[in-house]
Chain A
Amino acid sequence: MPAGTVVRMTRIDNKPSDAAPDAAVTVRGLVKHYGETRALDGVDLDVREGTVLGVLGPNGAGKTTLVRCLSTLITPDSGHATVAGFDVVRQPRQTRRVIGLTGQYASVDEKLSGFENLYMIGRLLDLPRKEARARADGLLERFSLTEAAKRPASTYSGGMRRRLDLAASMIGHPAVLYLDEPTTGLDPRTRNEVWTEVKRMVAEGATVLLTTQYMEEAEQLASELTVMDRGKVIAGGRIDELKARVGGRTLRIRPADPGELHPTATALDEFGLTGPGRATVDTESGTVLVPVLSDEQLTAVVGAVTARGITLAGITTELPSLDEVFLSLTGHKASAPQDASNALEEVAV
């Protein structure tokens, strides 16, 4: 198949040389201005095939602008991005063939039924009539929408609409799926519904770039994380790595006898491994908290406590929350709305 060979060569040429060999999306130095503001200010990231990259950031961080660049809806001012080997600026048509987009606002046609929405997109993706019909039926069933298939989407609940939206972006078997804040504005139950579907797609091998404002969402769905703030990537890596980098782990020790809480804390301080005064007593839960930086320290701490003859009823290690991660990376809370950058995100939408 000579045509296929050509495509393969083009793909390899387009990827930056420092990209991981299995990178499905590569972004290098991406910049997008809106007037004076830099919505994207030199963004670099990779999404490896078959993984979910979470892009975490507050309103106005540039997440939506990034997704719009990567889905060819807007053209970046400078920088370079490839999707499945295609350059998003120079090969927009090829790029559109390999992506699926689920926007911040469910982008389904409310006047059409669920089936007609999916059938239409199937036809726009060049599926023959019969196949488009079968694909629509299959996806409706998969996303538990078969019963509502004939009703106009305007009668759907918020969760059903998002599911239809997800189904619509899956029709073309996209190599990469963008989920732009897929659960913003949903109630917790509906959010879980969407998470379940996304987890299932991931388990089946989908490659996903997910933007979110919710720490919990990133933790639930993503394996790797890029933290963005004001158009810049401020941190990136595997979620547990990122947490470890920021605060290490916290060891929560529960002595069998609550009267031994303070002796336990003293023992740990005297032991000196974690620095004096670092062990804190949480009388409410009957535990002592100690930050530890390595597995060796963890073992040593447990040894020190048992050496004093204190019986332990429980030990757990806790990772710092992503809220804490964001706070320590940016100096401000992730959820705190930034007035200036809010306006920016509106421009980007």
Chain B
Amino acid sequence: MSSATLTAPAAQVSEGRIGLRANLRHIGALVRRNLLWIRQDPESMFDAVLMPIVFTLLFVFVFGGAIAGTQNRDAYVNYVVPGLMAMMGMNIAMGVGTGFNQDFQTGVMDRFRSLPIARFSVLIAKITVEIGRMLVATAVLLTVGFVLGLSVANVPGLFAAIGLSMVFGFGIMWIFLTMGVVMKNAQAIQAMGFLVLMPLQFGSSIFAPTNTMPGWLQAFTDYNPLSSLADAARGLMNGGQPIGHDVMVTVLWSVVLTAVMAPIAIRKFTTKA
């Protein structure tokens, strides 16, 4: 059983630098770990699969009539689905923090951090899997939307809208990753996440046009990146409004979030005692 001998010359102990291919291999192994989790525990996909169904039905049938009038339910589907697309990204991004935090509670993170791999590969793998989950959630959302009568005038625009919500979700994820490293437990992250997400999501143009809101709230919703993202997605899918500004604001937010939070997340992660 030579494959299990204990003392062999220590493996190629040269420079210690990790090349791009090795990094990709490590990220691949860690992504595989997260995918195996899903296979082992399919319920962990519930949020990605069920949330879009529940939210779409809830908003279209419970609030849709009141917001848009019963005659205009189809129009409201076209209004709310792009908005929900923006919301999905944020909700899934929150999961990244809790999952990450749980890794720290067990000793697994210590093992990863004592292995000769770049520490950021652990972060990248997690993000890759969460982006995948966002795509699943978006696919479910669109399917439900089409069943309820969603119409898309501009198909390339639809894909652009999906891409835009992924980019924004990527930026948001760094916040939750940082929280996952810094905060004590998963419940705290969840509570904190809701506190931040709720006002951001409802104080936006996701569910209803903002023109009936009081002026002070409109000032908030105008600067809320979720409004920009929702409006941009609507414009991209069905036209009807200028989108240049909203797309730019969303991209800008994503870039700034990533530029500020990614280094902090990586730093907190590598130096965590």
Q: Which residue of B lies closest to A8 (CB)?
A: B13
Shortest beta-carbon distance from A100 to chain B in Å: 9
From 114 to 148 in chain B, residues with beta carbon under 8 angstroms from any chain A beta carbon are 114-117
B54 part of interface (Cβ distance < 8 Å): no
B14 part of interface (Cβ distance < 8 Å): yes
Residues of A within 8 A of B106 (CB): 105, 107, 109-110
Q: How many angstroms from the CA of A75 to the CA of B17 in the assembled complex?
A: 19
Given contacts A97-B13, A112-B36, contact A134 B111 (CB under 8 A): no
The answer to whether B40 touches A112 (Cβ under 8 A) is yes
The answer to whether A97 touches B110 (Cβ under 8 A) is no
Number of residues of chain B lying within 8 A (CB) of chain A = 41
Residues of B within 8 A of A124 (CB): 26, 29-30, 112, 115, 117
Number of residues of chain A lying within 8 A (CB) of chain B = 55
The answer to whether B1 touches A96 (Cβ under 8 A) is no
The answer to whether B4 touches A141 (Cβ under 8 A) is yes
Chain A interface (Cβ < 8 Å from any Cβ of B): 3, 7, 68, 71-75, 84, 86, 91, 93-94, 96-99, 101, 103-112, 116, 120-121, 123-126, 131, 134-135, 137-139, 141-142, 152, 168, 170, 172-175, 201, 204-206, 348
Shortest beta-carbon distance from A207 to chain B in Å: 9
B188 part of interface (Cβ distance < 8 Å): no
* 23 pairs, A vs B, C-beta closer than 8 Å: A3-B14, A68-B273, A96-B115, A97-B12, A97-B16, A97-B116, A101-B114, A103-B110, A108-B108, A112-B37, A116-B36, A120-B32, A124-B112, A125-B116, A126-B11, A152-B40, A172-B11, A173-B5, A173-B10, A201-B6, A204-B5, A205-B7, A206-B6
The answer to whether A99 touches B26 (Cβ under 8 A) is no
Task: Using A97-B16, A137-B3, A172-B11 as known contacts, list a sample of 11 further A-B pairs with CB atoms less than 8 Å apart, ordered by residue number in A.
Answer: A72-B114, A73-B273, A93-B17, A96-B116, A101-B110, A101-B114, A112-B33, A112-B40, A125-B115, A138-B3, A205-B7
B259 part of interface (Cβ distance < 8 Å): no
Q: How many angstroms from the CA of A199 to the CA of B18 in the assembled complex?
A: 34
Contact of A73 among B3, B17, B26, B110 (CB under 8 A): B110
Q: How many angstroms from the CA of A134 to the CA of B17 in the assembled complex?
A: 26
Q: How many angstroms from the CA of A96 to the CA of B11 in the assembled complex?
A: 11
Shortest beta-carbon distance from B207 to chain A in Å: 36
Q: Which residue of A lies closest to B2 (CB)?
A: A138
10 A-B pairs with least C-beta separation? A107-B107, A93-B16, A138-B4, A138-B3, A123-B29, A96-B116, A173-B8, A94-B16, A107-B111, A142-B4
Shortest beta-carbon distance from B138 to chain A in Å: 25
Residues of A within 8 A of B14 (CB): 3, 7
The answer to whether A123 touches B26 (Cβ under 8 A) is yes
Q: How many angstroms from the CA of A38 to the CA of B59 in the assembled complex?
A: 58
Q: How many angstroms from the CA of A222 to the CA of B114 in the assembled complex?
A: 24
Residues of B within 8 A of A101 (CB): 110-111, 114
From 77 to 118 in chain B, residues with beta carbon under 8 angstroms from any chain A beta carbon are 106-108, 110-117
Residues of B within 8 A of A152 (CB): 40
Residues of A within 8 A of B30 (CB): 120, 124
Q: How many angstroms from the CA of A174 to the CA of B5 in the assembled complex?
A: 11
Given contacts A120-B29, A123-B28, A175-B10, contact A142 B1 (CB under 8 A): yes
Residues of B within 8 A of A99 (CB): 114
Q: Which residue of B lies closest to A68 (CB)?
A: B273
Q: How many angstroms from the CA of A204 to the CA of B113 in the assembled complex?
A: 27
B22 part of interface (Cβ distance < 8 Å): yes
Q: How many angstroms from the CA of A106 to the CA of B25 in the assembled complex?
A: 25
Residues of A within 8 A of B40 (CB): 111-112, 152
Shortest beta-carbon distance from A254 to chain B in Å: 44
The answer to whether A97 touches B36 (Cβ under 8 A) is no
Q: How many angstroms from the CA of A170 to the CA of B11 in the assembled complex?
A: 12
Residues of B within 8 A of A3 (CB): 14
Residues of A within 8 A of B116 (CB): 93-94, 96-97, 125
Q: How many angstroms from the CA of A11 to the CA of B249 in the assembled complex?
A: 53
Q: How many angstroms from the CA of A180 to the CA of B113 in the assembled complex?
A: 16
Shortest beta-carbon distance from A197 to chain B in Å: 11
The answer to whether A107 touches B108 (Cβ under 8 A) is yes
Contact of B16 among A68, A75, A91, A125 (CB under 8 A): A91
The answer to whether B25 touches A103 (Cβ under 8 A) is no
